[in-house]
């Protein structure tokens, strides 16, 4: 399966989702960009539904998940993301730890996890929704689900994603991601970026 890693049709959508999520997180004015656990869904206004050039537009905040829409290469890309709710051990200088799902008209359910550090390509990865194991592979600073549709279904049914990864210095790093609000965020991105 690792030999097929470079031929993943969703890879571009996954990378785009991470890039757009990073843009959305670094926006200076919206208060929701720094809120870790928003209390409830806040649908975006119609005027905000059209992204400005290079800037994603928020589709809504759904408990622990944020949904947004952006444009890349003239095509719409929608994604939902959440930050890790818990990470141990604490690693100094670690980058943003996020779980993202991206939708494009022709690339669906691109699921990626950004652990905030590089993971070796052949590393043993343990990513699970509750007790259900998911198959992920590493590519530099990101992990990708081999079957994004299966991951999306598991996310809708589950309560938490747990990733146990080999971290810097050979330590095992455990990250937990809440799935509260995932189903509503997923519905929002599927609706905003329908399949063709």
Question: pLDDT digits over 33-90, tens only?
Answer: 322 222 233 333 333 344 445 689 999 999 999 999 999 888 999 999 999 999 999 9
Q: The pTM is what? A: 0.75
In sequence order, the 6+-apart residues with CB closer than 8 A to the CB of 180 are 63, 64, 65, 159
Average of per-residue pLDDT across 86-99: 93
Q: How many helical (H) and strand (E) elements, i.e. helices and strands, does the chain have?
A: 3, 12
CATH annotation of 2-192: 2.60.40.1880
Q: Where are the domains of the chain?
A: 2-192
Q: Where are the beta strands (DSSP E) in 43-171?
A: 57-62, 65-72, 75-83, 86-88, 98-104, 110-114, 126-129, 132-134, 136-139, 142-145, 160-166
Contact 22/96 with Cβ under 8 angstroms? yes
């Amino acid at each position: 399966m690792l030999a097929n890693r470079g031929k993943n049709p969703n890879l571009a959508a996954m990378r785009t989702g991470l890039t757009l999520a990073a843009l959305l997180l670094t926006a200076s004015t919206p208060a929701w960009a720094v809120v870790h656990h928003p209390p409830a869904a806040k649908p975006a206004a119609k005027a905000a539904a059209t992204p400005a050039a290079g800037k994603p537009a928020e589709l809504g905040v759904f408990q622990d998940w944020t949904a947004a829409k952006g444009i890349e290469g003239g095509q719409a890309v929608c994604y939902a993301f959440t930050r890790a709710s818990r990470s141990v051990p604490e690693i100094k200088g670690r980058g943003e730890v996020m779980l993202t799902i991206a939708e494009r008209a022709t690339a669906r359910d691109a699921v990626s996890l950004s652990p905030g550090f590089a993971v070796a390509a052949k590393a043993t990865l343990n990513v699970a929704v509750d007790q259900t194991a998911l198959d992920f592979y590493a590519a530099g600073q990101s992990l990708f689900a081999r079957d994004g549709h299966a991951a999306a279904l598991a996310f809708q049914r589950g309560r938490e994603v747990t990733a146990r990864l080999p971290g810097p210095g050979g330590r095992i790093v455990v990250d937990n991601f809440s799935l509260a609000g995932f189903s509503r965020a997923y519905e929002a991105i599927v609706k905003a970026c329908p399949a063709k």
